[in-house]
Structure 1
Amino acid sequence: MSGTTPDVRSVDVRRYFEVPRHRWRTVLAVAVLGVGAVGGYAALAPSSYEATSLVRVSPVGTDPFSSGRTPDQLVNTDSEAQIARSSDVAGLAAASLPGGRSPEAMRAHLAVTPSSDTATLRLTYDAGSQQAAIEGVNAFATAYLAHREADARARQEEMLRDVEEALDEARAALLTAEEALASAVEGSAQAREADADRQFALRDVQALSDRRGDLRAVSFEPGSVLDEADRAAAGSPADDTLFLAGGVLAALVLAVAAAFARDRLDRRVGSGRGAGEAAGAPLLAEIPVGTASLALVEDPAGPAAESYRMLRALLVPALRRRGTRVLLVADLTGPAHRALPGANLATALAEALGDVVLLTPGWRGAAAPALAPLAAAGGTGKVTLHTTTVTGLRVAHGEATDGGLRDVIAGEEFRTLVTELTDGGAWVVLDSSGDLTPSEVITLAGTAGAAVLVARSRETATADLASLATALERLDTPIAGCALVVPAPTRKARHTRA
């Protein structure tokens, strides 16, 4: 290959846009499946909503500031979180709601998160509806504070009873000491001892009376709801708009990834850039053709004709720069004569250059009626050239009869024919399509001055294209470029000639 051939293997960001475009069916199929899975999950998954309430916990005690600590330090939020999830609190919450709800069932839907630095609890309740979630968390917040206040007041009553009992005992002791002092001789040891007992009992009565007053004056504020729930967020992904949007986006990303994976695993040429990379040569044209076989381009203004004219416009200067008039059309489009790139290119060349000879050693019979021989028009030895319906174009087929081309391509007579034709001013197109063996194709390549490789999208194996390019490189046959035959849209497939 020429040293000036562009390096088509260089990184090109456009390739990353071409793969999804060429693999659009894969992208569409995977995207539909992914979006359908997300939609199915959203439709079948049970709805769930979460409501949250923030509760401030106040310290409860007879003298909360006696220890010198702050109120937040006097509250153990971990213990309070366990109390908030207790059966007693759940029972109060269930009783406050209509419908006879089960306390244990409600407990299963509650989560309590204690704060590590402040005396607050975050209560979260999930339910099947927004209203149920809001009612549930607010019921638990209210029930927790009510339970805490009731528990504190119960402990207050218990402490008051203990103080009253101790106060009664102190009063009795005081009465006993006073009676002993009254009966003792003034100034005697018994009087002094009775007076000491009286003073001691009096101090006890005073202290216990003060303690009783303090207990009665203590404020038992259990706390407050800092943030009462008035709305509920989607608790399950099926009800989350962000989840649904993320699921759709993930399906699209997966679809594109699947397209790249399939492109990587597919051993067939899928795009013009892929053909160029496999051949190590620039892409000259993408040729749209219909599904019909044995078809020559009929519409001179159609996209296929324009593609061949573009291919001609790029090839002729390249051939002239190389000083050759012999072009090999290395046809890898599949079954014999299916796309006829050699015949179509020869037709396009004849329109512009006037004298073109198409040698098709692999064709058996009049494979393309449009190029069917009309009359003998020269040749040499066993090879007979015939005129065709295309002005300026002569053709020789590989008939296994006198005048056939297949039997002489490996001999010197074939090279002599090619030389005589080019010396006479003709352009020679060697068409490798048909049922030629690999060795016969290589023989043709050895005679050519340059080659153009033609592959068919989704049918030509990348390995076959690369192998042929390597063989041509070993023969020092320059590859002028490659072309890719692609399916044409049905509405544009107006070419066929029976």
Structure 2
Amino acid sequence: MDVTTPAPGDLADHLSALRRGWLVLACAALLGLIAAGVVTTLLPHRYRATTAVLVLPTGAQDANAAGGRTKESINLDTEAQLVRSTAVAARARTLLHVTTPPAQLAGAVDVSVPPNSTVLQIAYSATDPAAARAGSHAFATAYLANRADSAQAATNATVRALREQANRVNAELRSTTGKLANAEPNSSTHALLDAQRRNLTGQLGTLGNRINDATTRATSAGRIITDAAAPTRPTSPSVPVNLAAGLLVGLFAGAVAALAAARFGRRVATAADLTRRTGVPVLSDVPAGPAAARCLGRLRNELSAGDGGPAVLAVVGAGGSGAAVAARLAAAFARAGQDTVLIAAAGDGCPPVPDRPGLTDVLAGTIGLPTALHPADGEPGLAVLPAGSPTGALPIPAVGAVLDRLRDQRTTVLLATPDAADGPEAQALAALADAAILAVPRRTARYAAVRDAAEQLHRVGTTLLGAVLTAPTGIDTETGAHRAPAANEVEGAADEPEGAPVGASARA
């Protein structure tokens, strides 16, 4: 079994990862707020002043384009673009007495048009309130002056065109009048020429009236209806907006970090992550406290279902010794009325019981197996075979013979092995069992260690039923305090009632 690439999780897995990473989220959000505050402090403040200009029709050149905002003869969308033109910006620069390029000045201008109106709101942004007011007023004045000049130029062009037309009509009238004087009275030619003269005279009078109207009509491009006032507070940077943005960025970064830690972290966090990252199913997620006994009781029922379960079950440590899980599970089997033997072959992970012979003594032939099996106080049907005196590596064939004797007695055997990463002993012992489970301590075991342990069992043909996820190694299940394992923890665990912490002397 070699699962190296994390499989994608579902929404529940992501939410669980975010709950576990709440501290990362909180720190990231705080850092985002601090960064936003620093940036807000360092950014230059900008002030914005607005001048309202009423735009009036100036003549026939103000044709309304398709899609204009109003039904008037003025297209304010076009006028708004003219405010930011180079010609207007050059006039505004002259009024402001600055040397800034016109394009840069125009970049600080923003023009808006209120709906259903002929008003332009010319806003100017600057780092100083007085400069913002002066810039808005200068652009409004420059725009009106530029519009008035454009209207006057259009009027002058119209007058020139009318005068040229009047000169042509006048010349034609003189020619017609001369021809009329030489024509015979009462002739058809005389009548035609007289009609042409009267027509040309009428045209000349009409052109004269149009010229008079164009030259005497007052042209008004518009006027300022609300002059800009010096702003009292900056418009940017916005403190609420920047803080909200910093908070969102911080939360996003924290969420990414929490999800990345859950997806690519090396230590086991949850049962779902364990299965997703290693492919090993989780038989039970044992919590800390009294609820641990209930979870192990349910696990006992599941292991005993069908044909009664395996006669010899190895509890292999993956990231820690499996002795504690084996002891609690053995007590659960004994309470169900099954003759159960707990063999503590965990080596260094399970300290020997002082002054009591155990497995190594049986293998050495110094004591018989019945004598080495010590009844567990308060747990009828449970016997404990301690590790015994340390003598180095266990003779595996001799251990197999002991397990065969216990199988013949129809006894359920829980074999606690050392951690699979400590050496080949755990693999060799698990090969003697009918099935195995992995004891995985949460937040201390690594996914690589679980994958390695599962691969070791697979290579020797041992049936791996799944993993039991437990509280972190070395943490008391009742108080949560860190402690070193007691010397008699393996045997004492068999003496506990369900719901009591390992090593307690209380009786069910």
Q: TM-score range by the shorter chain?
A: 0.5 to 0.7
Shift of 1:421: 3.0
Please name the residue that 2:351 is paired with.
Answer: 368
- 2:273 alignment counterpart: 274
Alignment of 1:24-103 (within 5 A): 24-48=22-46, 57-61=55-59, 84-85=83-84, 89=88
Q: How does 1:71-470 map to 2 (within 5 A)?
A: 84-85=83-84, 89=88, 106-111=105-110, 123-128=122-127, 133=132, 136-137=135-136, 140-149=139-148, 152=151, 210-223=209-222, 236=236, 238-239=237-238, 241-242=240-241, 244-277=243-276, 278-288=278-288, 303=289, 306-321=290-305, 322-323=307-308, 324-334=310-320, 340-343=324-327, 345-346=329-330, 356-364=340-348, 367-368=350-351, 371-374=353-356, 380-382=362-364, 385=372, 387=374, 392-397=382-387, 399=389, 401=391, 406-408=393-395, 410-411=396-397, 413-424=398-409, 426-433=411-418, 439-470=424-455
Matches of 1:223 and 1:351 in 2, distance apart?
99
SS in 2 for 1:125: strand
- Confirm or deny: 8 A CA contact 1:455 1:465 kept in the other structure: yes
Shift of 1:17: 1.7
Q: Structure 1 residue 88: deviation in Å?
A: 7.4
- Matched with 1:295 is none
1: CA distance, partners of 2:131 / 2:334: 83
Tell me, in whole angstroms, the C-alpha distance in 1 between the residues paired with 2:255 and 2:62.
65
- Once the two structures are superposed, what CA deviation does each residue of 1:3-45 show, in whole Å capped at 9, x if it has no partner? xxxxxx8965421222123334443444444443333323322
For 1:377 and 1:462, how far apart are their aligned partners in 2?
32
Q: Does the C-alpha gap of structure 1 residues 476 and 329 become closer, same or farther in structure 2, counting only changes over 3 Å?
A: closer
SS at match of 2:471: strand
What's the counterpart of residue 465 of structure 2?
479
Deviations 1:316-374 (A, max 9, x none): 2233224234221111124xx5984444544666677696433233415x9537x4453
For 1:137, what is the secondary structure of its paired residue? Answer: helix
d(CA) in 2 for partners of 1:32, 1:63:
60
Q: For residues 116-139 of structure 1, what are the alpha-carbon distances to aligned partners after superposition, in whole Å with 9 as ceiling and x for unaligned?
A: xx9886644223478865774355
Instruction: Sort the Cα spacing of 1:227 and 1:489 in 2 relative to 1 into closer, same or farther, 3 A.
Output: farther
* Offset at residue 314 of structure 1 (A): 2.2
- Alignment check: 8 A CA contact 1:110 1:125 kept: yes
Count of matched residue positions in the alignment of Structure 1 and Structure 2: 448
Residue identity opposite 2:481 in structure 1: A
Pair 1:101–1:347, CA change in 2 (3 A)? farther
- Judged with a 3 Å threshold, the aligned counterparts in structure 2 of structure 1 residues 310 and 448 are, in CA distance, closer, same or farther, namely farther
* 1:432 to partner: Cα distance: 1.6
TM-score (ref. length: structure 2):
0.64
Moved more, 310-319 or 70-79: 70-79
Deviation at 1:307, TM superposition (A): 4.9
Distance apart, 1:417 and its partner CA = 1.5
Query: Residues 373 and 326 of structure 1: is their aligned pair in 2 closer, same or farther, counting only changes over 3 Å?
Result: farther
| Cα distance between partner residues in 2 of 1:41 and 1:146 | 41
- SS state at 1:313 partner: helix
Answer whether contact 2:315 2:417 (CA < 8 A) is retained: yes
| C-alpha distance after superposition, 1:267-298 (max 9, x if no partner) | 3322222223425323412354xxxxxxxxxx
Change (3 A) 1:159 1:435: closer
Distance 1:461 1:64 in 2: 78
CA distance in 1, matches of 2:28, 2:89: 48
Superposed displacement of residue 114, structure 1: 9.9
Of 100-109 and 155-164, more deviation after overlay is shown by 155-164
**What residue identity is the alignment partner of 1:320?**
S
Secondary structure at the aligned position of 1:432 is classed as: strand
Equivalent residue number for residue 180 of structure 2: none
Residue of structure 2 equivalent to 1:493? 481
For 2:421 and 2:269, how far apart are their aligned partners in 1?
25
Task: Find the aligned partners of 1:309 and 1:248 in 2 and give their Cα distance.
Answer: 44
1:50-79 alpha-carbon deviations (Å, 9 max, x no partner): 5666756444248979xxxx9989768798
Indicate the residue corresponding to 2:189 in structure 1.
none
**Which residue type is aligned with residue 368 of structure 1?**
P
Aligned partner of residue 273 in structure 1, secondary structure: helix
Q: Tell me, in whole angstroms, the C-alpha distance in 2 between the residues paired with 1:80 and 1:270.
A: 64
Question: Conserved in 2, the CA contact under 8 Å of 1:445 and 1:472?
Answer: yes
Counterpart-to-counterpart distance in 1, 2:149 and 2:476: 82
Distance in 2, Cα, partners of 1:154 & 1:30: 63
The equivalent of 1:17 in structure 2 is 15
Cα distance in 2 for partners of 1:423, 1:242 equals: 77
1:41 aligns to what SS in structure 2? helix
Shift of 1:209: 5.3
Q: What is the DSSP-based 3-state SS (H/G/I as helix, E as strand, rest coil) of the residue aligned with 2:144?
A: helix
Return the offset for 1:214.
0.6
Distance 1:495 1:270, change over 3 A: same
Aligned partner of 1:190 in structure 2 is none
Q: Which runs of 5+ in 1 are unaligned?
A: 2-8, 172-186, 188-195, 289-302
SS at match of 1:333: coil
Select between 24-33 and 315-324 the one with higher mean Cα deviation.
24-33
CA contact (8 A) 2:319 2:421 kept: no
Q: Counterpart amino acid of 1:374?
A: R
Q: Among the aligned pairs, what percent are the same residue?
A: 25
Describe the SS at the equivalent of 2:356: coil
Describe the superposition over 1:416-444 as per-residue Cα deviations: whole angstroms up to 9, x where unpaired: 31233354465422112158865432332
- State the SS of the aligned residue for 1:374: coil
User: TM-score scaled to structure 1, two decimals?
Assistant: 0.65
